[in-house]
Structure 1
Amino acid sequence: MRLSSPIYKLKRRAKFLVRGNDVKLHEALNQIAAEEGFKDWSHLASNYSKATPAKEIVKQLGAGDMLLIGARPGHGKTLLGLELTALAEKINRTGYFFTLDFNEADVRDRFEKLGFDPKGFDRPVVVDTSDNICADYVIECLNKSSDDALVVIDYLQLLDQRRRNPPLEEQVRALRAFATKCGAIVVMISQIDRTFELSSGLMPSIDDIRLPNPLDLSLFDKRCFLHDGEVQIEKAA
């Protein structure tokens, strides 16, 4: 059964019903659920709270972890990164999404595509689209907050595109040290080399990460690769 709107919009409709009528929130939610063809709100929610790769990944992340997400364009790596930031509150963290690739409208549209209301999180997700994003910039932003952080950086190969920024490996080592010291979780989205599409591989691997500049990939504890709807999660050897 397809919902008429994402769950967060249905919840918003229920809140409007509460404001304009003499009904309690659970009654309004049940009314909305009935309109969608379910017996009550818990029935609706149980049908649309299915497991996703992001939910499985976030369970495996702990303080100080560095995760690398790799995929070719169009295979869902950015959406996965955004969902991880949205789920940060589930593990009592604040989600941060730093992107050098998208503007704020792009990010908002992708959150809505995932069914999340960017303004409706218990812990608001921080979205930063500054052109100045680099390791030092990210660390400075995080140092201003006392919250435990889950940080997604989009994306790896753009961090040292400006000549004034330190080399890529130096930046990743700085983020590694920060994560270890402060207990942050750092997720970095990465491009996969286009030669992968000419290979017979069913899933990219660490050897397919596009590295125009040197980088020790063993700095990442965990890796996640996506291709054609499939997701593979692995720990570094």
Structure 2
Amino acid sequence: MAKPSRSTYVCQNCGATSPRWAGKCVSCGEWNTLIEETDAIAAPGTGLARKGSGRVIALEGLKGKTREAPRFSTGLAELDRVTGGGIVPGSALLIGGEPGIGKSTLLLQLAAELARAGKRALYFSGEEAAAQVRLRAERLGLSDAPVELACETSLANILATLEDGKPADLVVIDSVQTLWAETIESAPGTVSQVRAAAQTLIRHAKSAGSAILLVGHVTKDGQIAGPKVIEHMVDTVLYFEGDRGHTYRILRAVKNRFGATDEIGVFEMASGGLREIANPSELFLGDRESSSPGAAVFAGIEGTRPLLVEIQALVAPSGLGTPRRAVVGWDSNRLSMLLAVLETRAGISFAGHDVYLNIAGGLKIAEPAADLAAAAALLSSLSGVAVPRHRIYFGEVSLSGAVNATPLMTPRLKEAQKLGFREAMCPARGELEARGLKLKLHRLTHLRELADEAPPCD
């Protein structure tokens, strides 16, 4: 007897399912994204597996010798840093980013580096013709690299090509939203097609030992489009970020089964492709205005890398009943909290002023330790007196005004000393290894101590 089937409606934006059609998805709020899909289900009483049809699985304990996963270097030091030391054979990586940010450029450079090192690299493009990819390779100086290129969107044809000949070391799929499987009756890019393509390619990667690198489109909110289950299936999820107004690009790991998360790699987009930035602090501090009020240098941590960046503030008298609060690169709610703490705990009011806060270079900062640097920039702009150009700030400010301890204080200070800074305003609490440090430290316990100090101008 044929198995009965039922229809469900799947949102093509977030992957949520609904038993009936609706104009608006109740999960993500998008309109006209529900598409009908038919799933075969088991007959009543049969269950998904018959009793006695399986086999007994050998169980193991947690103790035992294990070895670290083998890796191969990508030839790009920044990419090796983000992936945890290199790419693991048989792993699946997913990279997302805004259109035109440089994803295809990065992956073409990666494939060329591996091909020149003697590894087999395959590049499947579903969005560009072969002539377009060759033009990019010629512009980047990669035409001599023995990369195997194909422009194909059929999942069956791609699998047949992968299974023919020597297993590839790296397979790039640009992008997973363009793939389609003949057995699924839906358009490419839909949830069912993307899920089936990703699952099939990951299964091939595990069996053949090839590293699969999938490119994913992003939504208007910056999230990778398609069902969230894809991010759960892959081993590593990377986001390629950047500001169109700046040449730098940041590759950030948000999931990594073989390394640390929140690690970043910094690149600069040049005419010859993406160039690695070994010391990103110099990049973000290169255009500093030493005598301008309202600027303070924050010593932050991105993953395991210390990073110095300038926080800029502008406090201007407001003629509005409700003064403006504008933030770029930082959390606007955290700015509101910091202004309230400055007024309540330090007696400094910004009620009659518009406040604008910007992270130099377009970098996005989510670390709470930026509170102290933001407060220093705000106070400097309000007073019109520049902070010393050789001083850095870091520390989290609580609602009581206390400056809380910050992790990894020593790497922050060492990075600042390496770049020529001579003073640091940091929390009084927290472990600190002062050996080898020549900076003059100002240990703060309360935000009031920062507000009481009139910053002298160099």
TM-score, normalization: structure 2? 0.34
Deviations 1:93-129 (A, max 9, x none): 2111111100111101111232212xx23xx211111
Shift of residue 184, structure 1, vs aligned partner: 0.5
Aligned position for 1:209: 224
Amino acid at match of 2:251: V
Superposed, which structure 2 residues align to 1:157-172 within 5 Å?
Answer: 157-160=177-180, 163=185, 167-172=193-198
In structure 2, the CA distance between the partners of 1:90 and 1:60, relative to structure 1 (3 Å rule), is farther
Amino acid at match of 1:210: A
Amino acid at match of 1:192: V
Aligned position for 2:53: none
* More moved, 103-112 vs 57-66: 57-66
1:225 to 205, 230, 239: 239
Amino acid at match of 2:149: V
* 1:188 maps to 2:208: no
Equivalent position SS for 1:195: coil
Aligned position for 2:141: 115
In structure 2, the CA distance between the partners of 1:77 and 1:168, relative to structure 1 (3 Å rule), is same
* 1:125 maps to 2:151: no
Equivalent position SS for 2:221: helix
Shift of residue 214, structure 1, vs aligned partner: 6.8
Q: Which gives a bigger RCO, structure 1 or 2 (Cα 8 Å, sep 6+)? A: 1
Deviations 1:49-87 (A, max 9, x none): x95645656852121110111001111111112112112
Equivalent position SS for 1:60: coil
Q: Where do 5+ consecutive residues of structure 2 fail to align?
A: 1-74, 243-248, 258-458
Aligned position for 2:111: 85
Q: Where do 5+ consecutive residues of structure 1 fail to align?
A: 1-49, 197-207
Which has more helix, going by share of residues?
A: 1
Aligned position for 2:450: none
State the alpha-carbon separation in 2 of the partners of residues 90 and 224 from structure 1: 24
Superposed, which structure 2 residues align to 1:1-237 within 5 Å?
Answer: 51=76, 53-54=78-79, 60-89=86-115, 92-117=118-143, 120-121=144-145, 124-130=146-152, 133-160=153-180, 163=185, 167-196=193-222, 208-211=223-226, 215-228=229-242, 229-236=249-256
In structure 2, the CA distance between the partners of 1:90 and 1:53, relative to structure 1 (3 Å rule), is farther
Which has more strand, going by share of residues?
A: 2
TM-score, normalization: structure 1? 0.63
The question of whether the paired residues in 1 share the 8 Å contact of 2:125 and 2:175 is answered with yes
Equivalent position SS for 1:225: strand
Amino acid at match of 1:154: D
Equivalent position SS for 2:110: helix
Cα RMSD for the two superposed structures: 2.7
Shift of residue 235, structure 1, vs aligned partner: 3.3
Shift of residue 188, structure 1, vs aligned partner: 0.6
In structure 2, the CA distance between the partners of 1:138 and 1:54, relative to structure 1 (3 Å rule), is farther
For the pair shown, the structure with the greater C-alpha radius of gyration is 2
